[in-house]
A and B are shown apart, each in its own frame.
Chain A
């Protein structure tokens, strides 16, 4: 009994050691046929996550000699903190995802530029991206990120509720909204139909509040320049007016002041509101709920141009202490493959494809309602440039505090503006850590 016990344990240990050693070896060495290992990091969870896995799998089948390890991390500070630390430590993944608005956070040291010739060799030219997007990802003439999409804030509407509220044009689409008062009035009329509120937006959510704020602020002609060392150059009047608009909207009738982003789309999906102001990716939620809905570009509530806050998911080459040329080349292949296949990404996630070959394809144009707002790509407004700004940044979270102070009526719009500008000044005075 004892002997057999000991034997079996020894055999087990030996087997484990052998298996572990084999695993170790296989992870170090290139596999048969010169296979290349490629590490790819992204932050897509939920329905976007599924679509991204689809894109990765598609590349896997296109390039069987590349072994892709894809890692998904939580969106926002957790992702950006980890990626920046991995870059600073020199052991970053071969390919990463980044919001174009976060490029300033990564400065010029943490990322490598994309070689335009390498891209051209794979049939991609920078002219194929919309101009505002191209401008944002090019820093000092160097292409720092390769945009996959543009995702502007959009307006969802429940066609059933809007019809009952008399808000539809004869052709069944939303009648044009051309002023802030009309927007609020549309919300009020939808609220009469739903019996609760008219518009859902993430009023208690940093991203939700910031998207509306930044769109309206830019429509008002507001400028925000954040020079290192400060002070912030901000149009205070436009900040006050944009915050007033948010406060007027979150009055409990037009919109609830207590919804976070998830709850806002849930309210729209459960027919408690007639409108939803959110990112286009919530199209999945609305589709799953099987409600009658459509989507359109967020209207110009001030001024004539419907400027709208947007961002672009894009691919970057994180700086590594030692670049493996084979892996780098595979990273180019993978990024280009995902750009080419971005129709699924667009039709499933609501994003506007960045590559014109996809954005102008009849397949994409036939996708309704998501191709309705493709014009937004020409008027997108990215977040102001500073190392602490962009999607999921300190600025978004701190501005979110000021905005929520106003929507919850703890602060007046004037106090909210001074709160935000005061914080910007003190943040800039600290000097950039880049």
Chain B
């Protein structure tokens, strides 16, 4: 959603002199607050307040099932730095983010280029590539559970059919997380594909015509016109994808039936937060972990903003 609106903005809004000349417009009027208020109330009640409340919780030994709780200062934070499970599950999340972002960008770009370079029935490809993105996570996982199934699955059926050994997609500790990556790529690549396709269609045709007149071939046009003009979109896709991948929880949780995958190899940090807070009732400690994760995400976002700003002309 955010992505779509961000894309639409640069083309349409023309903050020009016209706005300034009309004097106090809608933005300056006093009535505006009443339009924003309903949203602000909901936002404050369901986002800001829980955010602050959670931060407060992280300094208490609050339990989900006990009425009283004690102030423990930074004990939760001290504990999490020595809790190997925090760092292990954070590692899983980071590995997933790296492992899924790369294919989700590269494959989306390749698919968009293929569709753009004149396959017949573009609407059909647009539809089939985007369709999985519309499925609810439970449905996606149900399909893939059967595809990945060790002794009955389609994948192992094909592998053993052509004489290769079966793979423990959901049972081998080295493979479990990559099964989540494969599933996630199939499920969400359509969104990035659509962003790329929109960007490709926005490249003016005359650029290609001019290049063609100058004798540039297909590859030259791709490398010198298409890819450079997609830079901004690539930046956007990477930012959105990294943030989406860091949020890994639901598909891994359902795929491995809440058990964290073979040998815990597919337990993202958010699942550890969930398990700690809701299954083991330790709300205070879970809050502390999620705040450390939050700080890490903010740091990543800042670094990324810095990098993209520098790379832009």
Q: 1/0 per residue A92-116: CB within 8 Å of B? A: 0000000000000011011000000
Q: What separation, in Å, do the CA atoms of A267 and B149 have in the docked complex?
A: 12
Q: What separation, in Å, do the CA atoms of A408 and B149 have in the docked complex?
A: 16
Does B223 sit at the interface, judged by CB under 8 A?
A: no
Contacts of B257 in A (CB 8 A): 76, 206
Given A401-B260, A405-B263, A433-B281, also A109-B66 (CB < 8 A): yes
Beta-carbon contact of A433 and B65 below 8 Å: yes
Q: 1/0 per residue B238-279: CB within 8 Å of A? A: 000000000000000000011110111000000000010011
8 Å CB contacts to A: which residues of B272-302? 275, 278-282, 285
Beta-carbon contact of B66 and A404 below 8 Å: no
Q: Out of A80, A204, A263, A388, which one reaches B262, CB within 8 Å? A: A204
Contacts of B54 in A (CB 8 A): none
Q: What separation, in Å, do the CA atoms of A401 and B267 have in the docked complex?
A: 11
Q: What separation, in Å, do the CA atoms of A394 and B267 have in the docked complex?
A: 13
Beta-carbon contact of A404 and B262 below 8 Å: yes
Beta-carbon contact of A206 and B151 below 8 Å: no
Pick out which of these stretches binds chain B: A118-126, A214-222, A252-260. A252-260
Contacts of A430 in B (CB 8 A): 79, 282, 285
Q: What separation, in Å, do the CA atoms of A80 and B280 have in the docked complex?
A: 11
CB nearest neighbor in B for A410 = B173
Contacts of A272 in B (CB 8 A): 151
Does A87 sit at the interface, judged by CB under 8 A?
A: yes
Q: Out of B171, B258, B264, which one reaches A78, CB within 8 Å? A: B258
Beta-carbon contact of B64 and A397 below 8 Å: no
Q: Out of B63, B150, B262, B279, which one reaches A394, CB within 8 Å? A: B279
Q: What separation, in Å, do the CA atoms of A109 and B166 have in the docked complex?
A: 49
Contacts of A206 in B (CB 8 A): 257, 259
Q: What separation, in Å, do the CA atoms of A258 and B148 have in the docked complex?
A: 11
Q: How far is the CB of A402 from chain B (nearest CB, A)?
A: 8
Given A394-B279, A401-B264, also A408-B152 (CB < 8 A): no
Number of B interface residues at 8 Å Cβ cutoff, please give it. 30
Given A78-B258, A84-B65, A434-B66, also A408-B151 (CB < 8 A): no
Does B172 sit at the interface, judged by CB under 8 A?
A: yes
Beta-carbon contact of A258 and B259 below 8 Å: no
Q: How far is the CB of B273 from chain A (nearest CB, A)?
A: 13
Q: How far is the CB of A97 from chain B (nearest CB, A)?
A: 18
Q: Out of A88, A257, A400, A405, which one reaches B65, CB within 8 Å? A: A88
8 Å CB contacts to A: which residues of B70-96? 79, 83
Beta-carbon contact of A257 and B171 below 8 Å: yes
Does A85 sit at the interface, judged by CB under 8 A?
A: yes
Beta-carbon contact of A88 and B173 below 8 Å: no
Beta-carbon contact of B258 and A397 below 8 Å: yes
Q: What separation, in Å, do the CA atoms of A394 and B260 have in the docked complex?
A: 10
8 Å CB contacts to B: which residues of A272-297? 272
Q: What separation, in Å, do the CA atoms of A41 and B260 have in the docked complex?
A: 26
Q: What separation, in Å, do the CA atoms of A88 and B64 have in the docked complex?
A: 7
Contacts of B64 in A (CB 8 A): 84-85, 88, 433
Given A259-B150, A397-B259, A433-B64, also A408-B280 (CB < 8 A): no
Q: What separation, in Å, do the CA atoms of A387 and B281 have in the docked complex?
A: 10
Q: What separation, in Å, do the CA atoms of A76 and B278 have in the docked complex?
A: 13
Q: What separation, in Å, do the CA atoms of A206 and B256 have in the docked complex?
A: 10
Does B235 sit at the interface, judged by CB under 8 A?
A: no
Does A81 sit at the interface, judged by CB under 8 A?
A: yes
Does A172 sit at the interface, judged by CB under 8 A?
A: no
Beta-carbon contact of B282 and A433 below 8 Å: yes
Does B170 sit at the interface, judged by CB under 8 A?
A: yes
Q: Out of A394, A404, A426, which one reaches B263, CB within 8 Å? A: A404
Beta-carbon contact of B280 and A433 below 8 Å: yes
Q: What separation, in Å, do the CA atoms of A388 and B151 have in the docked complex?
A: 32
Does A77 sit at the interface, judged by CB under 8 A?
A: yes
Beta-carbon contact of A408 and B172 below 8 Å: yes
Interface residues of A (CB under 8 A from B): 76-78, 80-81, 84-85, 87-88, 106-107, 109-110, 204, 206, 256-260, 263, 266-267, 272, 387-388, 393-394, 397-398, 400-401, 404-405, 408, 410, 426, 430, 433-434
Some 18 contacts from A to B, beta carbons below 8 A apart, are A81-B279, A84-B64, A88-B65, A109-B66, A204-B168, A204-B262, A206-B259, A260-B150, A260-B171, A266-B152, A393-B279, A397-B259, A401-B260, A408-B168, A430-B282, A433-B280, A433-B282, A434-B281
Q: Which 10 A-B pairs have the closest CB atoms?
A: A258-B150, A433-B63, A204-B171, A433-B281, A397-B259, A81-B278, A258-B171, A401-B264, A77-B258, A258-B168
Q: A206-B259, A433-B63, A433-B64 are in contact. List 14 more A-B contacts (CB 8 A).
A: A204-B168, A204-B170, A257-B171, A258-B166, A258-B168, A259-B150, A263-B152, A388-B279, A405-B263, A408-B171, A408-B262, A410-B173, A426-B83, A434-B63
Interface residues of B (CB under 8 A from A): 63-66, 79, 83, 149-152, 166, 168, 170-173, 257-260, 262-264, 275, 278-282, 285
